[in-house]
Chains A and B, each alone.
Chain A
Amino acid sequence: MLAIGVEAMSMLSNPTFLFYQFMNSISLGMNLFIIATGLTLILGVLRVINFAHGAFFMFGAYVCWSTVTFLGGAVGSFWLGVVAAAVVLGAMAFVIERGLLRYLYGREHLTQLLFTFAIVLIVGDVAKMIWGTDQYNVPYPHGLGGAVDFGFAKYPSYPLLLCVIGLVVAVGMWLALSKTRWGRIIRAATQDREMLAALGMNVPLVYTGVFVIGSALAGIGGALAAPRVAVSPGMDATIIIECFIIVIIGGLGSLWGSFLGALALGFVTMFGTVIFPDWELVLAYILMLGLLLWRPWGLFGHEEEEPH
């Protein structure tokens, strides 16, 4: 087994291979970031650990498949599928937050945890009722099934595009959060919601809005992942763990924290599987543990103050 690692080490001196792995790491990181950023947003504002985020991701992939299939795979149908995933997940999140979740804000974390876990099971079963247990294939969007030639190597266009989309989402979220009035309100809600309410802000509306946007991002993440993986029950199995690792590394509620966390996880996964093939499963956890020992509040998080 050790020989495999040594063989891979010799590969690391191959520049083309390094380039591939570098790009693989970034595209995996960016796909994860789009999903995890929704989770961290919800966690930061609502203080709810939303276990259902992974199930929303899967649901988004299914919605995308249905849209593409309904439109007969026409040009642009994939992008409509991404929009549809955002809209459907946003609507679902609206109903869940307004109808159920809001009654649990004052409760202890365990109740909320159980609630979101129940949502995982319900969403999973609803998906099974609608789409059955079959696996589905979403083709690459038109013109993106090939590769871009960099001269010294080719890299597939679709994952390249994911890198760009991840960056756009990051910058867009940052602008929205730092430059707009609603962004400031959301940031204020992460700091001190009582004060925000005392200032006459409609805090419940902020909560609904954040839950809807966060869940829509999970849906978008699922739709964007769909062309690269089989859409099927169980595709949400590992994503929620990966998202939690990212959120913990980055610091709860931090946008750039989850951006860096996602990239770190991308690099650790891609290079870890090559250099330490036997340790593939635990590398991400080692990364998380090491960081927790060093900075328990994550890269960009803040030390929790005692509630006053």
Chain B
Amino acid sequence: MKRLIANSETKDKLGARTKVAVAGAAALSVALLSGMGSAGAADIKIGVLYPISGGGAIYGGPAMRGHDLAVEEINATGGVLGSKFVTVARDSKINPAAAAAAAKELITKEGVNVILGGLASSVGLAISEVARREEVIYIATIPKTIKLTTSKLHPYVFRTASNTDFEGDAMAQIVKKVNGKKLCDIQLDYAYGHDLGDGIAKALPKHAPGANIVMKLRPKLGATDFNAYITQIMGAGCETVVSGLWGNHFVNFAKQAAPFGFFKDHVYITGGEIASHEVASKLAGDYPDNVWSNTYELWYHSPTGAHKKFQARLAKKAGTNATAMWPVLAYNGVMLYKAAVEKAGSTDAAKVIKAMEGLTIDTPMGSLTVDAKSHQTNTGQFWGPMKKQSGEAYRRMEPVTFVPPPSK
């Protein structure tokens, strides 16, 4: 309803003085574009890749907001080494081939100094491969597949997101906490799902040696009908489900499973940031019971003063106090690159890589350190059960527990 009203207002505004406005906007955008094109040698060009069309736009949109916020803040305080950050954004979709082509174009045609972003793990691996070949730094802000910083690691890739091993370890700790014995494991059939499944299986003997995975299910990425999987889990007789169905996959799964009484009979432990505002606000009263999940950030929980300030700026930009989780990931990626360039005193890739290895920066979520060997930051997440609140349909994590990465 809000959206409808907002749109009719926009339409009214458009109705008046349309011609003048359109002409003005066209002239302005031409000016802006030409300004960007000739982007003086002094500017630092940031190539950024998030899905901004199709199904992934739900996450790419908020991520871009965080990215823009970071760039605005940096430029408002004089930029880096006297240069301004200029964003060149492309659509990564949820499609590795499209993302790789876009990354290549950003590097060869636009001549960007760095590439940030990615969302799906498969997309992250594809961008990373381009970065390796073209010898340009890529900071993965959202993709979590462990392979990015292990078997597919190369000097040019860094990650500010968490990873599937961290996530699997935290989930195994929760299995222990809820005393899970017979587990069903349901993951999406692509890089992220497979690697999270492995991450959980690796961590279970350490944290919950009494727990056994009795069934593994792998629905495809983008699946909308989960009924065949729901009934299989019900037939397998497990009392605990571990999962990494993210975003709409979880929404669809939950909506289809709830009428069976599924969430009364199962404890559902899931990665994929199902505790984020994005999912909690969309499901609202339909959010199921007995769900334990994770999130990078919560608008209603400030662990640091820096987060309080960041969240206030974000709320202003988004026009609502209840802000999304994805912006902080994109924001931290930009800030890491900025700090590395400042430390290196140059945008030369080799020098920035050297500066980034072992670098520690302050973020709204606390301090972040890049491991010099694995190029992985020590990014932790909030984990906890999602509790019904009195007087509102919106579920909140309660209690909120910060789970740092497992010690080696």
Contact = CB atoms under 8 A, between A and B. Distances in A.
A270 to B, nearest CB: 5
A130 B256 CA distance: 27
Contacts, number: 134
Contact of B224 (A20, A147, A229): A229
A69 B1 contact: yes
Contact of A21 (B61, B228, B252, B284): B228
B232 A274 contact: yes
B235 A133 contact: no
Contacts of A16: 235
Interface string B5-36: 00100000000000000000000000000000
Nearest to A68: B1
Interface in A151-167: 154-159
A137 interface: yes
A70 B1 contact: yes
Contacts of A157: 259
Contacts of A20: 227, 231, 234-235
B222 A11 contact: no
Contacts of A7: 215, 236
A239 to B, nearest CB: 9
Most B-side CB within 10 Å, residue of A27, A133, A136, A281: A133
Given A70-B1, A135-B248, A237-B55, A277 B231 contact: no
Contacts of A4: 215-217
A224 B286 CA distance: 17
A26 to B, nearest CB: 11
B392 to A, nearest CB: 15
B180 to A, nearest CB: 19
Interface in A222-240: 227-230, 232-235, 237-238
Contacts of B229: 273
A273 B57 contact: no
B227 A66 contact: no
Contact of B282 (A135, A238, A270): A135
Contacts of A230: 247-248, 251-252, 255, 282
B285 interface: yes
A17 B235 contact: yes
A148 B101 CA distance: 51
B286 A137 contact: yes
A172 interface: no
Contact of B217 (A136, A137, A277): A277
A11 B3 contact: no
Contacts of B225: 28, 228-229, 269
B282 A24 contact: no
B218 interface: yes
Contact of A8 (B4, B52, B54, B232): B232
Contacts of A145: 258-259
A11 B232 contact: yes
Given A11-B236, A137-B251, A147-B259, A24 B231 contact: yes
Interface of B: 1, 3-4, 7, 52-58, 60-61, 215-220, 222, 224-225, 227-229, 231-232, 234-236, 247-248, 251-252, 255-256, 258-261, 282-286
22 contacts: A14-B235, A17-B231, A17-B232, A69-B4, A70-B4, A130-B7, A133-B60, A137-B282, A137-B284, A140-B255, A147-B261, A155-B260, A156-B259, A229-B225, A230-B252, A232-B58, A232-B248, A233-B55, A234-B222, A235-B224, A273-B219, A280-B220
Given A66-B4, A234-B57, 12 more contacts: A20-B231, A24-B231, A130-B3, A130-B7, A131-B3, A147-B260, A157-B259, A230-B247, A230-B251, A232-B248, A270-B227, A270-B228
Interface of A: 4, 7-8, 11, 14, 16-17, 20-21, 24, 27-28, 66, 69-70, 72, 128-137, 139-140, 145-147, 154-159, 227-230, 232-235, 237-238, 269-271, 273-274, 277, 280-281
